[in-house]
Each structure stands twice: as C-alpha cells, then as structure tokens.
C-alpha cells in the first residue's frame, strides 16, 4: 500500500470525531496530521505542507471561523472542508463566503466524506499523478531495508522531518523505533539542534519528572544545585520519549501540559519556561488497551499522535533480512576478526525463515554470536541451535534443551576466553545467572 501524495490536516476538539476522520482518511491512504485546537493547527500549518484542511466550526477559545480566516489570508490556495455538528444557514453562508469549498454535517457517512474530500482536493497535475515518492536505496540514515513496509515509513519521515509536529512511533520491541526517531531528526532541517533520547521505562518513577523537567536547588533531598531537564536540553531540537507507556499518570499529566502550553515547570520551581521542542514518543505497549484500563491518559495519547508511524516487525520484512545481516556481519567481523565475514546461502535461508520474535535486536545478537563462533564464513553450524532445530531436525533427533544450552554456554565462554561479563552480554543474561548456570 502506497501513501497518496496529499497531506490532510484535521482540526476538531471532539476526539471521537478526530479518530473517525483519521481512520477513514487512512483507509484511502491519505497522510494526515491532526490538531485538537486552532492554536495547534496554526503551528502545524507554519511548518508543514498541507493539501486540504478539514475543520470543525464550534471549538472552545478560538473557533473554526478564525482558523478559516487565518488560512484564507496566509494560505489562499489551501482548500477548506468544514465538518460541523451545529449546522445553520448563517454558518453555511459565512463559511462559503470565507472560501470553504465543501461543507459536511455530522453525522455523515463514510461515502459522503470520501466524496467531499475528493471534490475539495485540488486537481493534481498529470506529472504529479504519475510521480511516486522515490524508493530509498537500501539505507536512509541508519534505517536499512528495501521492503514495502520500510518504504512506507521513509515516505512518512520525508513528510514530517522538516516540521515540529508531535509524532508517535509504535511497534514491537526491537523493531528500531529509536532509529526512526533519529532519522526524523537528523534527515531534516533541525539536524544541527539537539536530539535528546529519554527511556521512560529505564528511569525510576520518582526520578522521571526531575529528569524530564529539571529541578531547582533544594527541591528534594540531594538537589544541591539547579539542573535542567531533558526538555530544556532539547531546546530547538527533538526529545525522544521512549517507552512512554511506562510513565506514571502524574508524569503523563505534566507531559500533557507541556504539549498544550509549550512550557515546562522544573520540580520545585514556580515560574514556567517556554520551550521550542519537537516531541517524538514511542512504545511497544498497547496504548488503546491501557486507556481502557485507565493506566494511560486518552487526552495525552491524542496529543502525542498528531502523526503516527507504525514500524512493522521483522517477520513482515523478510526482504530486509539480507541487508541487515550484511550490516551486522561487517560490524562484528571487523570488531572480532579484523576482516569482513560472509554468510553461506544455506545459513542465510535459515535466518530468512525464522519468525524473529525479538525482531532486529534478536537478529543482530544472532549474527554477533555467529561471527564469534565461525572459523571463516558463517555456516549453518554457527547459528544458534533453536534456529536450526526448529527448521531442520525431526522431533525424535532433538537433544534436550539443557544439553543444547550447556554446549552453547561453553562455546561462548571459550570464544570470549572465559570473560564472564562479555559472555553474559552475548548470551543476554546477567553475570549472576551465568555464574549459576556454570555452577549447575
């Protein structure tokens, strides 16, 4: 599925309507931005190329008519579609006089919306209709792949890299969500500004607020001087909030204020500080499920997901595996063998057939181990047993898992010259666990 060339901005303070509109537009492959206020919409418009504006009229603080007026004055060629639940003849006439090309009344059918959007969008030149966003050749920043799933991710990155719309990246653990965030930052015009990653799952809950927003001297025990937080450090650039689903409800409430007001208040401070920061969040959690369980704020979810980027698991990107393997072979061949290591076709086929529950992170670890184990090039015998046996060996020929594990641990220890720290890292277990397994 390829994205269309058109980008559509949806503005509505009703989150249910916002979600409905976005779902319909995505089903027709349009790229969407969304805003819950006129203020947010204007911010997006200033930094982003938009082909169609869809807006409600009745909104708190600043209404849709003011947005239509702003767009008419500053972006006169941008078509406008009004979707409202409070229709009136006066409003209809006022909207049409303001340059609105289509007018829909809630509730509306999916077919009515599609017809209105099709009519409202300007005619695209024949050359533009024929053109398709260029497929990236194997690498885009640190993102490697030629699969359709990766191409779709790169298409979205190209659309958002030069603006500061809030972005939400979702995908399983190990799929490369931070690589996507870094590509958004470093491939765009803000690449010289800071990129500050924060692992919300790796910082104790009682310290996360201080890490994000900074603190004043004396704010708590141990706060011996003022310290800036990640948001202040990212000023002018990008903050990447990884594993945002692990943030407490208290931190979520403060993040919501940051996104709404574009300002932060350090722990122990009274005066807010204005910030100019692009926020990219990511998680492997099911946030809609967490919202239903009331462990994640629905309003924060919608603020974070102005643009959503799903990152597909590796099992859906089989064509990317050879390129990733080549990258890791080069990396670890140079590190461990001082030369470039190749992989035999039979071994590569096994890697391509495996389901990779741990995704790219698991693939990298498997290649790293294989490089350590191999003599010249990576062969089938150098791959972990669970990959080979699950694909090649009949059930009655399998040795016990305990025996497989024992042999594998011994081989890793030999390869690392009995360096338990290094062996534990390769085996992805703690030194304590390794010591126990050696004892057993």
| Numbers of helices and strands, H then E, in the chain | 20, 14
List the one residue out of 158, 47, 57, 40 whose CA is nearest residue 105.
Answer: 57
Q: Is 50 exceeded by the pLDDT of residue 90?
A: yes
Tell me the pLDDT tens digit for each residue of 224-267: 888 899 999 999 999 999 999 999 998 999 999 999 999 998 88
Place of tokens 């277990």: 429
Instruction: Establish whether domains 145-312 and 315-439 are of one fold.
Output: no
CB 180 within 8 A of CB 311: yes
∠ CA 147-151-157 to the nearest 5 degrees?
A: 145
pLDDT score for 137: 41
CATH of span 7-130 = 3.40.50.2300
The mean-pLDDT minimum among 42-46, 86-90, 300-304 falls in 86-90
Mean pLDDT for the stretch of residues 293-301: 94
Euclidean distance between CA atoms 139 and 297, whole angstroms: 36
Its pTM surpasses 0.75: no
Q: Which residue has the tokens 């491939």?
A: 187
pLDDT at residue 324, rounded to an integer: 94
Q: Which fold has domain 145-312?
A: Rossmann fold (3.40.50)
Tokens of 398: 């399998």
**According to the model, what pLDDT value does residue 415 have?**
75
Distance between CA atoms of residues 440 and 434, nearest Å: 10
Task: Tell me the per-residue pLDDT of 356-374, one tens digit each, with 9 for 90 and over.
Answer: 999 999 999 999 999 999 9
Residue 10 and residue 21 in contact, taking contact as beta carbons nearer than 8 Å: yes
Does residue 169 have a cis bond before it (omega within 30 degrees)?
no
Pick the CATH number of 315-439 from 3.40.50.1110, 1.10.1040.10, 1.10.275.10, 1.10.8.60: 1.10.8.60
For the chain, the domains span 7-130, 145-312, 315-439
So what's the pLDDT on residue 385? 82
The string of pLDDT tens digits covering residues 167-191 is 999 999 999 999 999 999 999 999 9
**pLDDT tens profile 260-271:** 999 998 888 889
């Amino acid at each position: 599925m390829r994205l269309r060339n058109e980008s559509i901005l949806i503005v509505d303070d009703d989150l249910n309507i916002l979600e409905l509109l976005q779902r319909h537009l995505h089903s027709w492959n349009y790229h969407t931005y969304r805003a819950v206020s006129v203020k947010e919409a204007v911010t997006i418009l200033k930094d982003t190329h938009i082909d169609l504006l869809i807006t409600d009229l009745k909104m708190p603080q600043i209404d849709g008519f003011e947005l239509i007026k702003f767009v008419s004055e500053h972006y006169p060629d941008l078509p406008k579609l009004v979707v409202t639940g409070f229709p009136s003849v006066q409003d209809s006439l006022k909207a049409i006089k303001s340059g609105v090309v289509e007018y829909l009344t809630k509730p509306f059918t999916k077919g009515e919306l599609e017809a209105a959007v099709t009519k409202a969008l300007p005619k695209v030149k024949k050359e533009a209709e024929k053109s398709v966003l260029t497929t990236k050749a194997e690498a885009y920043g640190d993102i490697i792949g030629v699969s359709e799933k990766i191409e779709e991710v790169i298409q979205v990155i190209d659309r958002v890299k030069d603006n500061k719309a809030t972005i939400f990246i979702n995908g399983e653990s190990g799929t490369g969500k931070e690589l996507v965030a870094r590509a958004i930052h470093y491939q765009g015009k803000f690449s010289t500004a800071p990129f500050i990653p924060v692992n919300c799952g790796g910082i104790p809950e009682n310290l996360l607020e201080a890490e994000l927003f900074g603190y004043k001297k004396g704010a708590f025990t141990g706060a011996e001087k003022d310290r800036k937080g990640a948001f202040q450090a990212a000023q002018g650039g990008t903050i990447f909030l990884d594993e945002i689903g692990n943030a407490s409800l208290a931190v979520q409430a403060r993040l919501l204020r940051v996104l709404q007001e574009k300002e932060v208040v350090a722990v122990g401070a009274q005066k807010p500080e204005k910030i100019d920061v692009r926020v990219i969040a990511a998680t492997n959690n099911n946030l809609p499920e967490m919202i239903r369980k009331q462990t994640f704020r629905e309003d924060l979810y919608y603020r974070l997901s102005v643009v959503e980027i799903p990152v597909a698991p590796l099992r859906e990107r089989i064509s990317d595996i050879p390129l990733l393997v080549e990258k890791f072979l080069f990396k670890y061949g140079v590190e461990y063998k001082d030369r470039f290591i190749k992989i035999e076709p039979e071994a590569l086929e096994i890697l391509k057939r495996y389901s990779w529950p741990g995704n790219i992170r698991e693939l990298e670890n498997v290649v790293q181990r294989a490089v350590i184990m191999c003599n010249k090039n990576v062969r089938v015998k150098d791959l972990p047993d669970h990959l080979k046996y699950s694909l090649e060996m009949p059930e009655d020929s399998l040795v016990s898992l305990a025996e497989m594990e024992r042999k594998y641990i011994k081989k890793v220890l030999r390869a690392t010259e009995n360096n338990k720290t290094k062996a534990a890292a390769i085996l992805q277990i703690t030194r304590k666990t390794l010591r126990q397994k050696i004892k057993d």
